[in-house]
Structure 1
Amino acid sequence: MMYATVQDMSDRFGEPEMIQLTDPEIVSVQVAKAQRAIDDAQAFADAFVGRAYRLPLPGCSKPTPLPGDAGAVTYVPPPQLTRIVCDVARYYLYTALAPEHEVYLRYKAAERELQAIADGKAVLACPWGGVPGLLVAGNAPGDAEVFYQFSPRQCTDDSLRGFA
């Protein structure tokens, strides 16, 4: 499942900015360049999300009533992943940014949010109800069983005999 599309980026940031970022001749959005940034951003997001959720995510079931089928649904990515991937892809399309630039700040915020998801401190949400995917372990982030094993004691009275 793709978390974001070139159209999502154009809707969020405006077509003029997307043209400026993808086309040196400033004529039209170069879909291939924008899609490459989206693919890279999705791989970046999956590296974090995959620590908490099984990949690929099936997505959120969004009601989309059709004539004759009032209960029809489509599966869409969790909205926060769409936003995060768009912010990261936009950052990837820029060549140089100051640390106080809005695009850089949004990228860092996306990175922090992904880290919180990976650490189990935040969850992916489906605004229409349900869950976006299966957790790697446990019923909720942070509920996984922790297995540990201790080795036998290495320092004993006998092994330390003779040391002053």
Structure 2
Amino acid sequence: MNYATVQDMIDRYDEPEMIELTDPDIVAVQAAKAERALADAQAFADGFVGRVYRLPLPGCSKPAPVPGDPHAVQFVPPPQLTRVVCDVARYYLYSDLAPEHEVYLRYKAAERELGQIAEGKAVLSCPWGGVPGTLVAGDAPGDAEVFHGFSPRRITDDSTRGYA
């Protein structure tokens, strides 16, 4: 499942900006360049999300009624992942940004949000109910069971000889 599409980016950042970022001739959005940035951004997000959720994510089940089946659903990515991946992909499409630029600040915010998810301090959510995927372990992010292996030690007079 792709977390975001070129159309998602156009809807968020407007077509003129996407044309400027993807087409040196400033004629039309070059989908291939935008899709490459989206794929890189999704891989970046998966590096964080995959620490908590099994990949690939099945997605959120969103009601999508159709004639004859009012209970039909479609599986879509969690909306926060769509936003985050769009912000990261947009950042990837820029060649040079100052640290105070809005695109850079949104990229850093996306990175922090993904870090929070990876640490179990935030979760992916489905606004229509349900869960976006299966947790790697435990019942909630950060609840994974950790096993430690320790070897037994025997302290005897012989093993402590020479220490004062």
Partner of 1:98: 98
Q: Find the residue that maps to 2:61 and give its secondary structure.
A: strand
Give the Cα–Cα distance (whole angstroms) in 2 for the partners of residues 105 and 150 of structure 1.
Answer: 45
Partner of 1:11: 11
Give the Cα–Cα distance (whole angstroms) in 2 for the partners of residues 104 and 114 of structure 1.
Answer: 15
Partner of 2:52: 52
User: Relative to 1, partners in 2 of residues 1:142 and 1:161: Cα closer, same or farther, differing over 3 Å?
Assistant: same
Work out the percentage of aligned pairs sharing the same amino acid. Answer: 79
Give the Cα–Cα distance (whole angstroms) in 2 for the partners of residues 114 and 18 of structure 1.
Answer: 24
When normalised by structure 1's length, the TM-score is: 0.95
Q: Find the residue that maps to 1:69 and give its secondary structure.
A: coil
Give the Cα–Cα distance (whole angstroms) in 2 for the partners of residues 67 and 137 of structure 1.
Answer: 39
- Deviation, 1:156, is 6.2
Give the Cα–Cα distance (whole angstroms) in 2 for the partners of residues 22 and 102 of structure 1.
Answer: 19
Partner of 1:79: 79
Instruction: Give the AA of the match of 2:72.
Output: A
Structure 1: segments with no counterpart, 5+ residues:
none
Q: Find the residue that maps to 2:158 and give its secondary structure.
A: helix
Let me know the Cα RMSD of the aligned residues: 1.4
- Deviation, 1:133, is 0.4
Partner of 2:136: 136
- Tell me how many residue pairs correspond in the alignment: 164
When normalised by structure 2's length, the TM-score is: 0.95
Q: Find the residue that maps to 1:71 and give its secondary structure.
A: coil
- Deviation, 1:144, is 1.5
User: Relative to 1, partners in 2 of residues 1:24 and 1:154: Cα closer, same or farther, differing over 3 Å?
Assistant: farther
Deviations 1:56-79 (A, max 9, x none): 000000001111111000000000
Structure 2: segments with no counterpart, 5+ residues:
none
